[in-house]
Structure 1
Amino acid sequence: MFDITDAELAWLDQEDAHVAEMIRRHGVYITYVGGACSMPGCACAEAGESPAFGYTAGLFGIGHPELAITGVSMNTAGQVLNEVAAAVLDGAHLLPGMTLDAASMPRRISVQRVPNPAEIAFTANRHYHRPDRASVPLLQLVYADEKGRFPWDDGYALTPDAQPLPGQWRA
Structure 2
Amino acid sequence: MSSTDDFLRRQEHIIDTTGWAVTHVLPTDDDPEATTPFAYTVGLTAHDYPELITAGLPAEVAHTLLNDLARRVYDKAERFTHGQHINDLIAGYDAIIIDGPPSDELFPGMAIARYGRAKVRLQQMVWPDPQGQFPWDSGYAFDPDAQPLIATL
Which of the five TM-score ranges fits, normalised by the shorter chain? 0.7 to 0.9
Number of aligned positions between the proteins = 150
How many angstroms apart in 1 are the aligned matches of 2:98 and 2:7?
29
How many angstroms apart in 2 are the aligned matches of 1:20 and 1:142?
27
Q: Is the 8 A contact 2:39 2:62 kept in 1?
A: yes
**Partner of residue 113, structure 2:** 126
How many angstroms apart in 1 are the aligned matches of 2:87 and 2:27?
26
Identical pairs, percent: 29
**Partner of residue 39, structure 2:** 54
1:88-141 C-alpha deviation (Å, 9 max, x unpaired): 11110112111112445553111112322586111112222x1x4x25111111
How many angstroms apart in 1 are the aligned matches of 2:92 and 2:27?
22
Name structure 1 gaps, 5 residues minimum: 1-6
After superposition, the Cα gap between the structure-2 partners of 1:43 and 1:16, relative to the gap in structure 1 and judged at 3 Å, is closer
How many angstroms apart in 1 are the aligned matches of 2:31 and 2:25?
17
After superposition, the Cα gap between the structure-2 partners of 1:26 and 1:147, relative to the gap in structure 1 and judged at 3 Å, is same
Give the alignment of 1:8-157 within 5 angstroms: 11-35=3-27, 44-45=32-33, 49-89=34-74, 90-104=76-90, 106-116=92-102, 120-128=107-115, 130=116, 132=117, 134-157=118-141
How many angstroms apart in 1 are the aligned matches of 2:54 and 2:45?
17
How many angstroms apart in 1 are the aligned matches of 2:132 and 2:82?
18
Give the secondary structure class of the aligned counterpart of 1:161: helix
Q: CA RMSD in A?
A: 2.5
Give the secondary structure class of the aligned counterpart of 1:87: helix
Greater alpha carbon shift after TM alignment, 154-163 vs 51-60: 154-163
What residue identity is the alignment partner of 1:21?
H
1:68-94 C-alpha deviation (Å, 9 max, x unpaired): 110001100111000011111111011
Q: Which has more radius of gyration?
A: 1
How many angstroms apart in 2 are the aligned matches of 1:138 and 1:88?
13
Q: Is the 8 A contact 1:54 1:78 kept in 2?
A: yes
Q: Is the 8 A contact 1:51 1:70 kept in 2?
A: yes
